[in-house]
Amino acid sequence: MQIDDRHFELRLAQDRADLHAAQRLRYDVFVAELGADGPMVDHVARREIDRFDAHVDHLLLHDTRRAEGDQVIGVYRLLTEEGAKAAGQFYSEDEYDLTALKQSGRRLLELGRSCLHRDYRGGTAMMHLWAGLAGYIAAREIAVLFGVASFHGCDPAPLAGPLSLLHHRHLAPPELRPVARDAGYQRMDLIAEADLDRPAAIRAVPALIKAYLRLGGVVGQGAYLDRAFNCLDVCLVMDVTQIPATSRAIYQRGGGQ
C-alpha cells in the first residue's frame, strides 16, 4: 500500500470504541499473525485483551483514508507508575524482576503491545508513533522507558546469535538492569563473544529491537520464555538522557500528546 502521511492522525484513545480498535489490531498482529493465545483473547470479537488495558494510555495512529472502524493502523500501550500502582504492578513484572528500575528514583514509563498493521511496516508509520511517544514523555517528564520486546518462537537454538549479541554488547548497567524470573528464564550468553558471527546476529535481531538499540537501548539479564505469546522476550531499557542527539531530533519530530 502506498502511504500518504497527510492521512495519518495521531492521538490517545478517548473512549471504548478507540480501545476496541486497538485491541482488534493487537489481535490481528499478535494472535492471527504470530500465534498468541490465552484466556483473555476474544476470538469471536477478534480482540486481544488483558487487565492492564484499564490502567494504560493507548497511543493510536489512524489512517483516515480507511473505512470507519478500521482506521487504527498503529498502537503503543503506555503504562505510567501511577497506572502500574492502580493495576498492582507493571505488566512486565510477571516476567522480570524490576527492582533495580523501581529503586532508581527516576520516573518510569512502560511501553507495551507496540504493533503496526502489516501494510504499514517499513514506512514512516513507526516514526509517527515515536513522535507522539516523544511528546508524551516530555509532557510527563519521563526519565526511563522500558518494556518487553519479542523474538518470534519459543526455541532458543536458532536465536543463539542475536540473543548472545544482545547480552555481550547491549547489557544494561546494573543500576537499571531487569532480571528475568526463574519460571521462564533463558540464558542469553549462548555463544561466546569471540565466536559470534556479528553481521548474521545483527540481521536476526527484529527490526523494532534494532531501532531501540539505535536509540541507545540496552537489555536486561536473561530472556523470558512466553509460551502464551509464542515468543522469547527480552526486556529493553532506554535512558531518555542517553538517546543520541541526532536520533532525538528525529524521534521528537511531530509534537506531543
Provide the residue ranges of all domains of the chain, joining segments of one domain with +.
Answer: 77-251
Closest C-alpha to 169, from 204, 209, 198:
198
Contact 60, 18 (CB under 8 A): yes
| Contacts (Cβ under 8 Å, ≥6 apart) of 81 | 107, 108, 109
- Asked whether residue 3 carries a pLDDT value surpassing 50, the answer given is no
Work out the pLDDT band at 255, boundaries 50, 70, 90. Answer: very low
* 13-22 burial code (b ≥16 CB/10 A, e <16): beeeebbbbb
Listed residue (238, 149, 160, 246) closest to 200, CA to CA: 160
What are the tens digits of pLDDT across the range 238-252?
999 888 776 666 555
- Angle of CA points 209, 229, 175, to nearest 5°: 45
Tens-place pLDDT, residues 70-109: 999 999 999 999 999 999 999 999 999 999 999 999 999 9
Query: Which of 64-73, 123-132, 186-195 is the least confident region?
Result: 123-132
pTM metric for this prediction: 0.91
CB atoms within 10 A of CB 151: 21
Q: How far apart are CA 20 and CA 39, in angstroms?
A: 17
Q: What was the pLDDT predicted at 241? A: 87
Assign domain 77-251 to a CATH class: alpha beta
